[in-house]
Amino acid sequence: MLAGPTTPAHASAPYGAKAVEVAASKQGSPYQYGATGPKRFDCSGLTLYAFKKAGRRLPRTAAQQYEHTRHIPEADRVPGDLVFFPRGGTVGHVGIYAGHDRIWHAPRPGTYVRLERIWSAAVRYGRAL
């Protein structure tokens, strides 16, 4: 296999690694519906904020972010890729893949930004363009 800028390991670096770092720096920030930081976040607000700080623009909602990414198989995921959780016919939740089957995310009202193991096999992966 040829190494180069299109291989999965290089595709999201360095902005993917930076987005993970930014999300991690927000650990403990409270969830607030519609919030995009810097002190409170909802799920897509956290990804929007982290990628903006890393130099990439994302749309506002999880569903819009899914449509804006290059969809990739689980085997190709690397830290900094987005992990989408389907809900019905749309995407209801998003987090940032941190490696080792874990994501940084803002789960729901009453919780805080945290690192958590991916709890479902029914997820989709995307790489910010």
Q: Catalytic pick from 10, 68, 93, 100?
A: 93
Q: Is 10 a catalytic residue?
A: no
Domain span at 42: 8-128
In a domain, 2, yes or no: no
Domain count, the chain: 1
Residue 68 appears among annotated catalytic residues? no
Candidates 92, 81, 89; CA nearest to 47 is: 81
Provide the residue-wise pLDDT of the chain in tens; the chain has 129 residues.
333 333 344 445 689 999 999 999 999 999 999 999 999 999 999 999 999 999 999 999 999 999 999 999 999 999 999 999 999 999 999 999 999 999 999 999 999 999 999 999 999 999 998
The CA distance from 112 to 69, in Å, is 25
Q: Is position 1 within any domain?
A: no
* Cβ-Cβ contacts under 8 Å for 16 (sequence gap 6 or more): 54, 78, 79, 80, 81, 127, 128
Residue 62 near residue 92 (C-beta atoms within 8 A):
yes
